[in-house]
Amino acid sequence: MGEEQGKKVLEEGWLAARSTDIELTGIQLTTTQPPSSDTSHWMPAVVPGTVLATLVKNKVIPDPFYGLKNEAILDIGDSGREYYTFWFFTTFECKLSSEQHADLNFRGINYSAEVYLNGHQIVLPKGMFRRHSNDVTDILNPDGQNMLAVLVHPPDHPGTIPPQGGQGGDHEIGKDVTTQYVEGWDWIAPIRDRNTGIWDEVSITVAGPVKIVDPHLVSSFFDDYKRVYLHTTTELVNRSGKAADCSLKIQVSTELEGNTFLVEHLQSKQLSIPARSHVQYTLPELFFYKPNLWWPNGMGKQHLYNVEITVDVDGYGESDAWSHHFGFRKIQSEIDSATGGRLFKVNGEPIFIRGGNWILSDGLLRLSKKRYETDIKFHADMNFNMIRCWGGGLAERPDFYHYCDIYGLLVWQEFWITGDVDGRGDPVSNPDGPLDHELFLYSARDTVKLLRNHPSLALWVGGNEQIPPPDINEALTNDLRLHPFFLKVNETNKSKEETTPVVMDPSQYLDGTRVYIKGSLWEGFADSEGGWTDGPYEIQNPEAFFKDDYYKYGFNPEVGSVGMPVAATIRATMPPEGWEIPLFNKLPSGYIEEVPNPIWTYHKYIPYSKPDLVHDQILLYGKPKDLDDFCLKAQLVNYIQYRALLEGWTSRMWTKYTGVLIWKTQNPWTGLRGQFYDHLHDQTAGFYGCRHAAEPIHVQLNLASYFIEVVNTTSSELSDVAIEVSVWDLEGTCPYYNVSENLSVPSKKTVPIFEMKYPQSKNPKAVYFLLLKLYNISDFGIISRNFYWLHKPDGDYKLLEPYREKKIPLKMSSDISISGSTYKVRVQVKNTSKKPDNHSLLYKNNFTEGYDNVDFDFDLTSLDIRKQETGLLQKFYNRFSREDNDVKVSEINGTGDGVAFFLSFSVHASNKDHKKGEDTRILPVHYSDNYFSLVPGEEMAVTISFEVPKGVTPKVSLHGWNYDSAHTVH
């Protein structure tokens, strides 16, 4: 019996050791003297991962993301490359039959390596972004027991960090084809090993005489997307000494309910492949009528088909198989004549881009499917539709793209050109890109082959704020030229018979389906000519985003702001000296300058003030007393800042802008700027400001004109809807109320509805709340809800400080379903401080989805968990209060009428043995909403989902502005 065919991933049992500590050769390590876990100098390794990740795991060095610990780690610029040259060792089983062949595959090594397998050496060429596949059929041991050792060398030009620090260090890293952020940037400290390591998947693949290599799938559309053709080209390698008569099969299926599949197509073709040859074969196109299309987030469903290709060899049987999820969709873009911005269309429909910039998931490349899924789902939860993979980071991994396919995130993928290769800086960088242009192009082409079948991949871009050197740019332009099927946005979608004959099948192109742009500031982005016209990157006055002079161009690829996390994250990632809040120094101009502590400065803290332009937005709420107070007030600012940014852009959808990408959505380390969730996966309030602002149908207040606007990004007209506007003061009364009925909003339009008359009315309050609801007239179902806290012009929010003492009564009901370690909690929350007025429609509204939250904790221990007859769902009940319709109800007492303000849930381990100050949060958690407020009489539901570590009992806490401490329901 031979080895089971297919892929075996080698991710367990790796050991690592510094090369200078090991006197044995690779031949000795993989023949006579293999290491073990108790061998001197060897330690368990993180593979995939980096040298630094392994050293951190084994506590050889401190955690570089904690406090100032990174400064205690020796930088490769000071130690020399040998210090971070490491051996990695593992064993695996693989025993082949006579006609089987095996490949040893590395999907990513940084930067070069010597591989030893059972005493045989294989030298891998340089380059972080290239795959390596080596036929090891004749090297495997006959008994199936194999030893593998890999000596990994760092980048050739790791550079040094100048005393003044600076963006990109000394720029030497730009000479290599590798990640360029690793010498430090204005948002991250230097990575000491420059990401040296086996940083992506290692595998053994077993096949018969013929193997399948890099199939290319392309769909072409005709007759207004009713007819679709699937084009397929694949490479086939015959490794046997005789010609192989083959049957090449392709099967396309869709997954139905209950893990059943419907086969839509099954086609087989006969061919003969000469001995020891590598051929390319194009299958006949497959026809689909009215297929289910793949749509980006917010435009429709992400339908995916499963495409399987197999090759059967006469006299052998199935020799190899390949499968991939594939989405039928057509993405095009052009420069919009009205705005000058790049306009994207998916399946013929314009899409207004609202998304963010992405660096990578983790600065030590501890990449995982689980982390990727959380990251991408977070972006979808924010209602984003595009992620830009910044050029100083990674060519992102297939797992990243898989989840972008699942959740509908379009991806802008950049190649590895940044300011490290533009001939500027201090010291001056290399002006001609990486030293090895052929390596760069090989890596780029290999990356295209790796990623091109993903429907989420939207465009290729040559570099970040730069363009590649002329020869590289010319080659990429030629390699990534569009097939005629994809050239024009406004084509007439003629039938296939009416189109001009095309010589080459589209699947024979390297890509051919998505545009290549030479740089992030060219061709419809920023000023389109490479001027430094992205940004700004600091705190702004919220109303500024709505003004004509805020940003001149049609598509901003980078606009950034603050990103302070919650206090628990600061305590978890910094020692007590890092818990000191900034000093607030008043300047002669009257503006406040924030002076952060040295640890915050090291973690790239960006202040909440910009002297002479923006007054400190945290001080608008009063001077913070301590870390908790500072971080809570920062969340208030985060929410307002990012909601205003996106609402300002959507206010001018198509008339001024075609899209915006926020710098940036997250940090690959414990940074303190530009993020919607922190490195521990806890969200900031800005996350939920974005979630509301970017919903497909949205009601909003234009902070510059004070007009109520409705945004409709969908392809359908919105009709028979109404807007309810209510203003609430700090006393719990409603001084302004208005309903505008019988409204309609055209598809893909932003429409101003009416001007707000408050606070221009008599005796306006200094601080007030504004609640907007867009709802269907027929059933009062809420389509969009938006809650603001506002102050009079030239005022502040200081009156909210004494409002903390006003306790608002709440009533909550909750239930839970548990599947394995996954909990899904649904909480219904009502502000019971006041009964609805008879004349108001406010309380007739119903949420079609769970939306909001309130301040309490419920401990998931000691609960009466009742199984339903199906045995699939389990409900828990609160032990505090009465049962009501099989759902436990709890109440928080209060004496005041008013708004329950800025309520937020969190999930914690309820173990009573936790030490004081220990971070008890369970992360990540997905909330349907958070940092929300409820006006008197208002009721909402929030769903909370999370996984619980083994042996941990969770509790859900609710905090609020009106509450001193969290409430827990047991």
CA 522, distance to chain mean position in Å, is 24
Per-residue confidence band for 656, with pLDDT thresholds at 50, 70 and 90: very high
Looking at the predicted structure, is the pLDDT value of residue 317 above 90? yes
Do 194 and 155 form a contact (C-beta atoms < 8 A)? yes
Residue-range domain boundaries for the chain: 7-207, 210-315, 369-529, 696-803, 810-855+875-969
Looking at the predicted structure, is the pLDDT value of residue 737 above 50? yes
Q: Which helix (H) or strand (E) holds 781?
A: strand 781-791
Q: What are phi and psi of 837, to 5 degrees?
A: -75, 145
| Cα 844 to Cα 782: distance, rounded to the nearest angstrom | 10
Per-residue pLDDT at 497: 61
| Cα 305 to Cα 324: distance, rounded to the nearest angstrom | 8
What is the mean pLDDT of the segment spanning 477-483?
A: 97
What is the mean pLDDT of the segment spanning 937-948?
A: 95
What is the mean pLDDT of the segment spanning 275-304?
A: 96
What is the mean pLDDT of the segment spanning 457-468?
A: 96
- Of these residues, 3, 285, 558, 695, which one is catalytic? 558
Rounded to 5 degrees, what angle do the CA atoms 749, 751, 756 make? Answer: 155
What is the mean pLDDT of the segment spanning 525-549?
A: 96
* CATH for 210-315 (3.20.170.30, 3.30.70.260, 2.60.40.10, 2.60.40.420): 2.60.40.10
Looking at the predicted structure, is the pLDDT value of residue 684 above 70? yes
Which is more confident, 238 or 860?
Answer: 238
Per-residue pLDDT at 255: 81
- The CATH code belonging to domain 696-803 is 2.60.40.10
- Of these residues, 465, 523, 594, 939, which one is catalytic? 465
- Name the fold adopted by 7-207: Jelly Rolls (2.60.120)
Looking at the predicted structure, is the pLDDT value of residue 38 above 50? yes
CA distances from 139 to 11, 35, 144, 294 (A): 21, 20, 11, 44
Per-residue pLDDT at 502: 61
Torsion of CA 270, 274, 280, 285, to 10 degrees: -10
Please report, as a single letter, which amino acid is at residue 731: E
Looking at the predicted structure, is the pLDDT value of residue 852 above 50? no
Does the structural domain 810-855+875-969 have CATH classification 2.60.40.10? yes
Q: Which helix (H) or strand (E) holds 650?
A: helix 627-651
- Establish whether 3 is a catalytic residue: no
Looking at the predicted structure, is the pLDDT value of residue 272 above 60? yes
| Cα 926 to Cα 34: distance, rounded to the nearest angstrom | 45
Please report, as a single letter, which amino acid is at residue 625: K
- Establish whether 577 is a catalytic residue: no
Per-residue pLDDT at 1: 65
Per-residue pLDDT at 890: 78
Tell me how far apart the terminal alpha carbons of the chain are, to the nearest angstrom.
Answer: 57
Per-residue pLDDT at 168: 79
Percent of the chain with pLDDT over 70: 91
369-529 and 7-207 share a CATH fold: no
Residue range 357-386, pLDDT digits in tens? 999 999 999 999 999 999 999 999 999 999
Per-residue confidence band for 457, with pLDDT thresholds at 50, 70 and 90: very high
Residue range 746-777, pLDDT digits in tens? 999 999 999 998 988 778 999 999 999 999 99
Q: What share of the chain is helix, strand, coil (3-state, %, to 5)?
A: 15, 35, 50
Do 389 and 395 form a contact (C-beta atoms < 8 A)? yes
Beta strands in 125-258 (DSSP E): 132-135, 145-153, 197-198, 202-207, 210-222, 227-238, 244-255
Per-residue pLDDT at 499: 58
Residues 6+ apart with CB under 8 A from 887: 813, 814, 815, 828, 875, 877
Residue range 17-30, pLDDT digits in tens? 999 999 999 999 99
Q: Which of 440, 431, 331 is nearest to 386 (CA)?
A: 331
Looking at the predicted structure, is the pLDDT value of residue 822 above 60? yes
Looking at the predicted structure, is the pLDDT value of residue 416 above 80? yes
Map 238-293 to HEC letters.
ECCCCCEEEEEEEEEEEECCCCCEEEEEEEEEEEEECCCEEEEEEEEEEEEECCCC
What is the mean pLDDT of the segment spanning 920-924?
A: 96
Map 678-734 to HEC letters.
CCCCCECHHHHHHHHHCCCEEEEECCCCCEEEEEECCCCCEEEEEEEEEEECCCCCC
What is the mean pLDDT of the segment spanning 652-680?
A: 97
Which of 405-409, 848-852, 955-959 is predicted with the least confidence, judged by mean pLDDT? 848-852
- Name the fold adopted by 369-529: TIM Barrel (3.20.20)
Do 303 and 294 form a contact (C-beta atoms < 8 A)? yes
Strands 767-776 and 718-728: antiparallel
Q: What is the mean pLDDT of the chain?
A: 91
- Looking at the whole model, is its pTM more than 0.85? yes
What is the mean pLDDT of the segment spanning 915-928?
A: 91
